[in-house]
Structure 1
Amino acid sequence: MSKQYRILGVIISLAIGLAILPIKLTSEDLHSGNLFLAARTIRYTFTAGILAFLLHLYLNRTIFAARWIMVEYILRIIVIALIICLTSIVVDAIFNKFVKESSFTIAKEDLNWYLVILRCLLVSTVQFFVVFYLQLVEESQRRRLEIEKLNRSQLEANLSNLKEQMNPHFLFNTLNTLSAITNDVKVKDYVSEIANVYRYMLIHNKLNLVLLESELSFINSYLYIIKTRFGNSLNINIRIDESILPTKIPPLSLQLLLENAIKHNVASLDSPLAIDVYNDSENIIVSNSLLPKKTNYHSTGVGLNNLLNRYQLLFKQDIIIEQNTAVFSVKLPIIKS
């Protein structure tokens, strides 16, 4: 819990302690003045209210299984009530050892065990709900911030793609015209795959998740275009188990990794760039042979950072980036619904 909520909790604790543990003053007590009030406040308000707040704050960091959660909460309230009860008795005993004035001693009714335990249970119960409420407020704020961060990340991705796209209607009309005026089968196939790529980007890019099967179908169209350009300079091998095809993945994730591999490495007939897309039991892995281009080009890392942020926000998981002298690889966690 953040510092501001801890401070607020302490203030509320003091207020609750004063409210539910009233100090009963007699005419003789009034002659004791503020010292008497301070003594009783220290003994009850501090030891009961503050201690109960801090203990609930500490214990509420962990939660047991959902089916036992109510039992756990009740046990916490009882245990903390016993702790603050014993602590109050110890503090009172120490106080009475040094203060002999009868005006400052505990009234007889306060020594009633039932009354003492009842007060401690009441303090513990109220403080439990105070801590629970403050944690709910903090969690709500944290989720709002995560949603805003995800929206910003998605907006940046959309803007980036929009900058690279032509007007979709003009583009598809042009592709249809080109396909109609040519008799070359290869050209028709190339145009068809381009249309598939842009259609996928326009439809799915606004979504947070897509089926891995749909993403791989898109990748096949994307790779057809890339292979047409690079030919045998690229050696791309995709081996994905059918069992994970129904799982979901952020759209364009695989395309981004393939594009990065091609952009940052040399691909030639003498030294073909090898790219492997496969999976193990936990991850989808995209790896490529490391043949860095000898240019002054400096990568900003925006693409990988964007992908990392999306996995953290959507799944609370990190992608794993590994590199050695020969291979660069990125592992995307398999998300099983």
Structure 2
Amino acid sequence: MRLAIEKKIVLYSSLLVALLVNLPKLLQARSDGWVSQFSTFNVAELCFQFCFTYLYCWLVFELNLHWFPRWRKGGLATDFAIYPLSNILLLLLCSTVGIVVQGNLFSDAHHLPLRFFRVVYFARLSLCWLLEILVIRIIYLLRQAQAKDLETEQIKSQYLYAELELMKQHLNPHFFFNSLSTLSGMIRENPGKAQQFIGHLSRIFRNLLQEQQQLITLKEELQQLHSFTELLQMRFEEGIVISVEVPPLYHQQLLPHLSLQLLVENAAKHNRALASQPLQVRVYVQDNELCVKNNLQAIAVPQASAGLGLANLNERFRILLKKEITIIRTLEYFLVKLPLEGGKGGGY
């Protein structure tokens, strides 16, 4: 994309500069103009002069934007003096060639002394060079800005990857310990159910260990959440009720990976889940936001928490979607609202 933009800038700038410096030649078309006193208007000479000027402009861009970087990369241009010297040599060479060729082809069209004709020709190409140096400087500034943006994106990508890995590590280790304890009891009481439990647990481990994209569709996130909720319901049985009410219309919306599992895991971690007082967790869409809501029934001895999970989740939303999550806590419930990003086939 950057090369395509640079090519357009070079093309349009060369055409514009060539047109500007050849405006006096166009003024010769007026027979009563002051410029016509020095030379006769000739369409063929104007076309030649315009094309030659454009060629010189293109060579200046090629020299400064492409040849110099290659020389630096190959170690052929370590001395700073080679850059202005190369531009001066190109200017002198093109001026000499243009003066000789145009002077011989259109000698009858000029009433100027040869020395003055050479000075005017050299001045015209020098003006081209000055105008192009300004454009070249702008292009180099754009290159530096794009390089900084690319570096920033790489750092941001590495940061988000680290955030995701940290989130995976912070997913409650006690959950796996409790799951293994539950599995131990199931093996003795219900081997068939234990086999299902192992299948869901293995899928959760696979989702955590596999390298995932930062943004995935809501459909994929719900599929990965399914095994997690199945384990919770096998473990707590009637002590937890998890309902997912997300219309297919929103399945192609995008959100950061592991967003839902973290929120459901936090709900199970910080609240009682008893058959007499079931923990109710709802996942639904409201006002174009994905909501995860649970009733509050705090455990007697709450587990220590630094709040890093929600903070990291909010940071990932802020960077990836340029939006932030909303956290609402009342005496009755805890609610987290997640903004969604449109994906393929998605809509609101």
TM-score (norm 2): 0.50
Please say if 1:153 is aligned against 2:153: no
Aligned match for 2:296, one of 277, 286, 290: 290
The aligned residue for residue 241 of structure 2 is 235
Q: Give the Cα–Cα distance (whole angstroms) in 2 for the partners of residues 161 and 293 of structure 1.
A: 19
**1:193-248 deviations in whole A, cap 9, x for unaligned?**
22333333333x53323332222122222112111111111121110011111223
Q: How does 1:211-226 map to 2 (within 5 A)?
A: 211-226=217-232
Please say if 1:249 is aligned against 2:259: no
Query: Gapped runs of 5+ residues in structure 2?
Result: 1-130, 344-348
Q: Give the Cα–Cα distance (whole angstroms) in 2 for the partners of residues 140 and 163 of structure 1.
A: 36
Q: Give the Cα–Cα distance (whole angstroms) in 2 for the partners of residues 146 and 164 of structure 1.
A: 31
**1:179-206 deviations in whole A, cap 9, x for unaligned?**
9x99843233223322333333333x53
Per the TM alignment, residue 274 of structure 1 is displaced from its structure 2 partner at its CA by 1.2
Aligned match for 1:193, one of 186, 194, 200: 200
Residue type of the alignment partner of 1:282 = N
Cα contact 2:168–2:208 (8 A) shared by 1: no
The aligned residue for residue 61 of structure 2 is none
Cα contact 1:158–1:206 (8 A) shared by 2: no
Q: Give the Cα–Cα distance (whole angstroms) in 2 for the partners of residues 262 and 283 of structure 1.
A: 22
Q: Give the Cα–Cα distance (whole angstroms) in 1 for the partners of residues 145 and 322 of structure 2.
A: 19
Q: Give the Cα–Cα distance (whole angstroms) in 2 for the partners of residues 214 and 153 of structure 1.
A: 20
SS of 1:279 mapped into structure 2: strand
The aligned residue for residue 32 of structure 1 is none
Calculate the aligned-residue CA RMSD, in Å: 3.7
Q: Give the Cα–Cα distance (whole angstroms) in 1 for the partners of residues 168 and 241 of structure 2.
A: 30
Q: How does 1:167-186 map to 2 (within 5 A)?
A: 184-186=191-193
Q: How does 1:77-116 map to 2 (within 5 A)?
A: none
Cα contact 2:160–2:214 (8 A) shared by 1: no
The aligned residue for residue 269 of structure 2 is 263
**1:139-181 deviations in whole A, cap 9, x for unaligned?**
4454344233223323424555798999xxxx9xxx9xx99x9
| CA spacing shift, 1:296–1:215, aligned 2, 3 Å | closer
Q: 289-298 or 255-264: which moved more?
A: 289-298
The aligned residue for residue 304 of structure 1 is 310
The aligned residue for residue 335 of structure 1 is 341
Cα contact 2:270–2:302 (8 A) shared by 1: no
Identity of aligned residues (%): 26
Please say if 1:321 is aligned against 2:321: no
Q: Give the Cα–Cα distance (whole angstroms) in 2 for the partners of residues 247 and 272 of structure 1.
A: 31
Q: How many residues are aligned here?
A: 210
Q: Give the Cα–Cα distance (whole angstroms) in 2 for the partners of residues 264 and 222 of structure 1.
A: 16
Residue type of the alignment partner of 2:265 = E
**1:47-75 deviations in whole A, cap 9, x for unaligned?**
xxxxxxxxxxxxxxxxxxxxxxxxxxxxx
**1:287-319 deviations in whole A, cap 9, x for unaligned?**
111122232533111211221122122222211
| CA spacing shift, 1:287–1:139, aligned 2, 3 Å | same
TM-score (norm 1): 0.51
Cα contact 1:311–1:317 (8 A) shared by 2: yes
Please say if 1:143 is aligned against 2:153: yes
Cα contact 1:182–1:188 (8 A) shared by 2: no
| CA spacing shift, 1:155–1:186, aligned 2, 3 Å | closer
Per the TM alignment, residue 286 of structure 1 is displaced from its structure 2 partner at its CA by 0.3
| CA spacing shift, 1:191–1:131, aligned 2, 3 Å | closer
| CA spacing shift, 1:299–1:146, aligned 2, 3 Å | same
**1:269-300 deviations in whole A, cap 9, x for unaligned?**
23211111001242111011112223253311
SS of 1:207 mapped into structure 2: coil
| CA spacing shift, 1:297–1:164, aligned 2, 3 Å | closer
Q: How does 1:56-95 map to 2 (within 5 A)?
A: none
SS of 1:210 mapped into structure 2: strand
Q: Give the Cα–Cα distance (whole angstroms) in 1 for the partners of residues 207 and 151 of structure 2.
A: 35
Residue type of the alignment partner of 1:150 = L
Q: Give the Cα–Cα distance (whole angstroms) in 2 for the partners of residues 313 and 194 of structure 1.
A: 31
Residue type of the alignment partner of 2:200 = E
Query: Gapped runs of 5+ residues in structure 1?
Result: 1-120
Q: Give the Cα–Cα distance (whole angstroms) in 2 for the partners of residues 165 and 289 of structure 1.
A: 20
Instruction: Determine which structure has more spread, i.e. the larger CA radius of gyration.
Output: 2
